[in-house]
Amino acid sequence: MNRQMKYRSLFMFLVFVAVGALVISCAPKAAKPVGEMDTPEHHFYTGVKLLDQGKYAAAQMEFDRSIQLAPKFSKAYAGNGLVKAYQGDSKGAFEVMKQAWKYAKQDDETVFVHVCKIRLYTMGKPDKDWLNDALSELEAAIKIDPKSAAAYYFAGLAQKSALNFEKAGQMFKQVIDINKDYVAVADVEWNLTQKIQRAMPGTVAGKKIAIVERITRADAAALFMEELKIDVLYKKRTPKTFDTAFKDPEKAKTASSAAPATAADIAGHPLKVDIEGILAIGVRGLEAYPDGTFRPNEFVDRATYAMMIEDILIKVTGDNALATKFIGSVSPFPDLRADLPYFNAVMVVTSRGIMQAKDLTTGEFAPLNPVPGVDALLIIRKIKEELKFF
């Protein structure tokens, strides 16, 4: 009996040894470095830089090399998760992040995974509770490291993406107060949120456009229709005209049933109603092109936006003299000739303080520069103040 027990114990021991050997043999082996800079940390930080530059394939190569050198390097797995997210593979990103979480042993690794998950929820928006999930990751991160600037910064971007500009500003301000990482970019974002709050967009469309770096023709149409309420403005401010001349009843009936103003390339556009509203009203610079297209995704430059604003002011005030008021004047802007077709419009809007020089130190107007969404909204707010309409 004792001999059987000894054999059994010996057998179990050999089994455990065999299983252990099998596990060790199956575990990924770390590659040998080929140089002093061939380290997991170096490749990881290089991968992060490439990721921020939008070079996703190169970033993945760096993260993969980091994992080859250290098969359980949590941060490298998290980096690969971000690569997948930026490439549109949200599901794959979360799967990779599970590996990052599994290997996270140190506090800085755990915080990094939480921060990456904030970014994944913001980019992927997997469900309606994505913001709450992102904020839960923030709470988990700052519980470990109350001064995690990265956690606050990316939570601020999450709030901004959710159009919660006041809360986003608070997050960015927290990053600035911590004064460690992300200070410069947080300062830019904080100033942006302050400008958006001053512009006070009143519609969802306005809030969405506020965060774009350059507005399109479709965006401009939406802002004029929804934020400025240009159709109501024109109805209240422009004088009524009555045509009392005789008209053939049949022709009048045909004219009244004519198709609404539209364009050939806006059928499936989400802002189709706003675009058609602008086409029906008529705003200089937002007309349909001769080929019947509107080109909704074409970007608007500052000169064209100035012409749109000038046209609105002329129609609302009834002051047609504005259209030629500054012709023959000397240009105060070093980059704007007085013989350019948009010179008068630029002078009209700048003389009234509705728009201003792009660079106050050089005095340049930068007519061909794009119009950021927040600037477009601030200009509309100034028009409202100018007309005392709202």
Provide the pLDDT for residue 94.
95
Q: CA nearest 108: which of 72, 66, 70, 150? A: 150
Contacts of 325 (CB under 8 A, 6+ apart): 344, 347, 348
How long is the chain?
A: 390
Q: What is the spatial distance between Cα 230 and Cα 224, in angstroms, rounded to a whole number? A: 6
Provide the pLDDT for residue 8.
60
DSSP of 136-166: HHHHHHHHH-TT-HHHHHHHHHHHHHTT-HH
| Tens of each residue's pLDDT in the chain, 390 residues | 455 555 566 555 554 544 454 444 445 677 776 667 889 999 999 999 999 999 999 999 999 999 999 999 999 999 999 999 999 999 999 999 999 999 999 999 999 999 999 999 999 888 889 999 999 999 999 999 999 999 999 999 999 999 999 999 999 999 999 999 999 999 999 999 999 999 999 999 999 999 999 999 999 999 999 999 999 999 886 555 545 555 566 555 544 444 468 999 999 999 999 999 999 999 999 999 999 999 999 999 999 999 999 999 999 999 999 999 999 999 999 999 999 999 999 999 999 999 999 998 999 999 999 999 999 999 999 998 888 754
Provide the pLDDT for residue 390.
43
DSSP of 182-216: SHHHHHHHHHHHHHHHHH---SHHHHHHHT-SS-B
Provide the pLDDT for residue 11.
52
CA-based end-to-end distance of the chain: 99
Domain ranges of the chain: 205-239+259-387
379 in Cβ contact with 345 (< 8 Å): no
Tokens, residue 18: 């065999």
Provide the pLDDT for residue 248.
60
The DSSP code for 288 is P
Q: What is the spatial distance between Cα 382 and Cα 126, in angstroms, rounded to a whole number? A: 38
Q: For residue 143, what are the β-bridge partners? A: none
Provide the pLDDT for residue 19.
46
Provide the pLDDT for residue 26.
47
Q: Give how far Cα 280 sits from Cα of 67, 182, 258, 318, Å.
A: 60, 47, 12, 19
